[in-house]
Structure formats: C-alpha cells, structure tokens
Amino acid sequence: MEQNFLEGNIPSAIGKLPKLQILVLSENRLSGQIPSSIGNLTLLYELRLEANNLMEAFLPTLEIVNIGSLPIEIGNLKSLSILDISNNKLSGESPSSIGECNSLEHLIRDNLFEGTIPQPLTLLKGLRDLDLSLNNLSGQIPKGVEKLSALQSLNLSFNNLEGEVPTEEIFGNAIAILVNGNGKLYGGIAKLQLPTCTNHRSTEQKKSYALRIVLVIIGVVFGFLLISYFLTLFWTRRSKSKPLSTPLIGDRFLKLSYKELFQATEGFSSTNFIGSSSFGSVYKGIVNQGKTTAAVKVLNLQNPRVYKSFMAECRALRNIRHRNLVKILTSCSSLDSKGNDFKALVYEFMVNGSLDDWLHLQMEEHNHSKNLSLLQRLNIAIDVASALDYLHYNCYVEIVHCDLKRSNILLDSDMTAYVSDFGLARLLLEPDKQAQTSTIGIKGSIGFAAPVLCVISFATDRHSSMMVVAMNCGLDSENGETANDDDIASRE
C-alpha cells in the first residue's frame, strides 16, 4: 500500500497479524502515533513509514527498518541494522538512546533535526555508513567519530557545524567524507579545502581582540559615568546639608543658619527677648531640633566695634573649657532674609539670669524669694574667682576679660555662676606685650574698668582678683548691702 492516499491512524488491530514480515505504508497521509501493538509483530523485519505525518512512538525489534519517525525507544532495537528516516520533516534533537543499537550499520536521515551530534554515536563500533546531511545540527564534530574504524562513508554536509575537522581514520580520506555547507568548520586535510587552523585562529583572535577592546571601552565609559554620578550625588547632598552660616569656633560645635535661628526665636520676637547691650540683643530660643534651650546673642552691626568684639569672643571661647565659663554652642556669620550681614553667638541658656538681676531688683519685683543669702553670694564669688584664676593662670594662653561686671555673671538653676561676654577679651600671646596691654586705653563698662585694669596689670597675688570679685558680687559693704556702680567707680 505504498504511494496511496491513506489517511487517519494506523489501526491497533494490525498487531493481531503475528506472521506479518513486511509492512510498507510510505508516502501516504497517515497521522497519529504508531500503535504499540506493532510490538506483537515479532517476525517483522521491514517497516516503511516514511513520508507521512506520524508522531514518534514505541517500535519493536526489527532487522531492517525504513521509518518516518525516531522515538526514544529506538534504543530497544538491538538487532537493527539499517535505519532510514530520510525525506521527512522530523525535528528536535536526536535521542541519545540511538547509541544502544549495537547492530546498526547504516544510519540515514534527511530532516530538520537540530542540536549537536549525539555523543553516543561514537559507541557504534560496527557503523559503516553515517549520513546526517541536510539538517540543522550545530556544535563540533564529536571527538570519538574518527575512532569508528568500520566507518566507510560520512556525510555531514549542509549543517551548522563548527570547529576543527579531525584528520585521522576516515577524515583522512577526502572521497569518503562530505563536510561542505558548514561555514564555521576549519582544518582537516588539504583536499577538503577548508580554512587552515592558523588563518581561522588568527581571524578569531582578531575578533576576540576587537571584542575585548570594545568591552574595555564600554567598561571605562560606564565606570566614568558611574563615578561621575556618585560624585555629583555626593556633592549635591553635601551642599544641601551644609549650613548657610560659617561657624568660626570649630567644627565640633553646632552649625546653625540664620533661618534656623530665626525660627528658634520665633522671628526674634519680643516675647523671647532677654536683654540688650551696646553690642546687641539676646533672645531665648530652642535649637538642635528642639533638644536645647539657648541664648542667642544677635550683634548690632551698626556699632563699628562689634566686628572686632565678635572675632575676639570667638577666639577666646574657641579652646577654653571651665565649669564656671559660660558654654558657647556655636556662632553664626551669614546673611539675613534681606541680604544684610548677620552675626550671632549662641550660648547655653541660664534660667536664673544675671547677677545684676538679683542685686538690683525692680521695686515691683522685690521680694524675699529673690534675695541672695550670704552663702549664695560667697559661692558666686568663689565661682567667678575660679573662672578668672583659670583665664589668668591655667588657660592655654592668658586671657583678660576686660569687661567683668554683674550683668556678665550668669546663674543656672543651681545658682552656679558663669562668666560670660568675652567681647573685649585680650589674649596675651607674648610676655613682652604685657606692659603694652596694660597701657592701652581703658576697656570695658564705666564703673568696672578699674578692677579689670588691676587684673590686666597682673597683681602680685591672687587676693587682688578675689577683691575684684567681691566688689562685683556686692560683698564689700559693711552692712552686707550690695554696692552699686557709683560706689565701685568712686573706689577706683
């Protein structure tokens, strides 16, 4: 029934013909699977099913087979000697089980098989004819093919094979092998007229070298762009986080801008106003993200002495550390919202104000709870004397306050005294400048200049400094009353 127009499936009832030896159904329109009942045809030695639309299925043991599909069960055909599946449209990879057909001598297939040549083919020691032409096979020729000593004919033409062609056994006979139609093969014997290994490798090396150069260039460009991106990101974030103010007292202090101080003091409002002097006004504010209460001293830049006072105070407070010296939190040198110069000093806030507030109460505020006891006055005097002793004798450089007065002595919640306002402070850096410093015009507030000048002149003992402190703390009157500025001025 060859070359007819048979359609449909092969009936499974065909397995009930146990004496059938030849079954030719080639060049028809059969479809579906080969029925497993064919395995019952034990006498069958020739089966031709090529040029149909059959699907792969189990096949029995045969001696001569010319079939149209290649199932994985092909390995069960131990007696198979001829396998011809040419002129079909079979696709996919060849089953590796074909290497188990030990009696196979002729293998012919002309289809659309893809993938590599199965390595198990090298196990077919009795294979004489191998035709794998006109497929889509790729990869290299398996190393064991040249060791098939019985091989007499090899056709690998018109595939996508690549690599070096061997030269041993059958590959040494140009008449017995066909490898044309594989553009990536090279080497082999000269009669095959393939590119030599040297030229091919040289071309591959050039391509590989060019590829490496391209990859290096791409890598360098990509790396440069990546580094530029991170540097730009870093500097952008740094510029955003950098405060507008310029701290002049060191990097370890807070960094606050005009805007932050403006917000901390509620716009330098009168409700936060603490006091004022010729150098500026002091406001209470909350800084450091609401963690710290501070006294913000905004300098009056209309006063020509303010710039020198600001720098002097920054220099004096930059490195000094003492328990009785007011702690400075930071400085701010920036521009205000109108573009004008803005300078401020930010101190630790003292809840009990200044000593002057306690010694000179307003009549309406005068009450017993605000009066200082003798013990409190003594403690304040000792605190101030301790601060002066540090400035004069134990500081990194001798510092003269030049404006020590009651309003510059601040009190914390425990009534501990702190010396503040170093706007007129002098740093005595060289011993030969002591005389010059003591002869310069009087510095400081009227009524308090003489005691300070006594300190600048370096009294022969520290009891003189203690006397100055006592006068400022109101301990010099016979009746325990505080001395006023006129009393002190008259004593000078």
258-348 matches 355-491 in fold: no
Which tens digits make up the pLDDT trace of 445-492?
A: 555 554 444 444 333 344 445 555 555 555 554 444 444 444 433 333
Q: Catalytic site residue 485?
A: no
Cβ-proximal residues to 457 (8 Å cutoff; 6+ apart), any chain: 438
Residue in 341, 403, 421, 476 annotated catalytic: 403
Query: Degrees (nearest 5) of the Cα angle 17, 19, 23?
Result: 70
* Contacts of the segment 283-286: beta carbons below 8 A, 24+ positions apart: 284/349, 285/261, 285/346
Which tens digits make up the pLDDT trace of 20-67?
A: 777 788 888 887 777 777 767 666 667 777 777 776 444 444 545 444
- Domain 355-491 belongs to what architecture? Orthogonal Bundle (1.10)
Domain boundaries defined on the chain: 7-201, 258-348, 355-491
Confidence of residue 91 (pLDDT cuts 50, 70, 90): low
Bridge partners of residue 284, in order along the sequence: 295
Q: Measured in Å, how far apart are the chain's first and last C-alpha atoms?
A: 144
Which tens digits make up the pLDDT trace of 302-339?
A: 877 777 777 777 777 777 888 998 888 888 888 888 88
Which tens digits make up the pLDDT trace of 254-283?
A: 788 888 889 889 899 989 898 887 678 899
Inform me whether the pLDDT recorded for 371 exceeds 90: no
For the whole prediction, is pTM greater than 0.75? Answer: no
Residue by residue, DSSP assigns 66-93 as: E-S---GGGGG-TT--EEE--SS--EEP
* Buried b / exposed e along 123-146 (16+ C-beta atoms within 10 A): ebeebebbbbbbbebeeebbeebb
Torsion of CA 377, 379, 384, 388, to 10 degrees: 130
Task: Please name the fold of domain 7-201.
Answer: 3.80.10
Find the mean pLDDT for residues 160-174.
Answer: 89
DSSP designation for 430: S
**Residue 117, φ and ψ in degrees, nearest 5:** -65, 125
What pLDDT score was predicted for residue 417? 93
State which CATH number among 3.65.10.10, 3.40.30.10, 1.20.1250.20, 3.30.200.20 fits the domain covering 258-348: 3.30.200.20
What pLDDT score was predicted for residue 478? 40
Q: Which of 316, 310, 344, 320 is nearest to 330 (CA)?
A: 344
